[in-house]
Structure 1
Amino acid sequence: MKRLLPIAVLIALTASGAARANVDCHRATAEWQPREAVTARATELGLTTDSLRIDDGCYEIRGRDADGNWVTLTFEPATLAVLELGVRFRPGADTSRYWAGTRGQVGKSNKPHPTN
């Protein structure tokens, strides 16, 4: 029984990683928004852009939010919809802005997270 727990944890982590790593964009480059539009979209979301690259056919921005946390955003290149968000929080950072109402609105909500 003790041997099964680590194996189950490994399988669960591998399966969840495989699902996340499957973000690919398949639009013709003629449909893509220009790079300037991507950085403008990131600025609208409250980010300062450090780098912009193309990964698996998607735009990927790396930068910082207003609190100094490192943020990685993956955008669909034609619509600039946010497909994936990754945040590396500073020690002691307030994470509530990323938990409450995060769908497509990084950095927009200043409302406190409701307590249960």
Structure 2
Amino acid sequence: MTKTLTMLAVLILLPAGAALAGDDCFVPMSLWQPRAAVIALAAQNHWTLRRIKIDDGCYQIDGTDAQGRRIEVTLHPATLQVTRIEYEDHDDADND
């Protein structure tokens, strides 16, 4: 009986643990938007692309925004919704 209850508890908690995994995108490849759609989205947002890659099952864009700031954008592969955008600000300029 305790074995059954333990296994039941594990099965119940397993999906909760997957939900806590963060911003990983768990979507079957058959539901992904094509790479051309990612490029079109970048153009609509005036992003200049350096690279498109897949990271943790999500599309990830490295490039620059309309103001020339370096950005890293994470997109949900099925909806192309922006799940995270990071600005890579580097204060390398001298303030003389």
Cα distance, 1:88 vs. partner?
A: 1.7
- Partner residue in 2 for 1:51: 51
- Partner residue in 2 for 1:23: 23
TM superposition outliers: structure 1 runs of 4+ over 3 Å: none
Scaled by the length of structure 2, the TM-score of the pair is 0.69
Cα distance, 1:39 vs. partner?
A: 1.3
- Partner residue in 2 for 1:89: 89
Residue type at the aligned position of 1:43? A
Partners of 1:42 and 1:81 lie apart in 2 by: 12
Cα distance, 1:89 vs. partner?
A: 3.1
Partners of 1:58 and 1:37 lie apart in 2 by: 14
* 3-state SS in 2 of match to 1:39: helix
Q: Residues 74-111 of structure 1, C-alpha deviation per residue, up to 9 Å, x if partnerless?
A: 000000000000002365xxxxxxxxxxxxxxxxxxxx
Give % identity.
Answer: 41
* 3-state SS in 2 of match to 1:80: coil
Question: How large is the RMSD of aligned CA atoms in angstroms?
Answer: 1.4
Q: Residues 37-89 of structure 1, C-alpha deviation per residue, up to 9 Å, x if partnerless?
A: 01111111120111000000000000001221100100000000000000023
Residue type at the aligned position of 1:60? Q
Specify every segment of 5 or more residues in structure 2 that has no aligned partner in the other structure, as ranges.
Answer: 1-20, 92-96
Scaled by the length of structure 1, the TM-score of the pair is 0.57
Partners of 2:89 and 2:46 lie apart in 1 by: 15
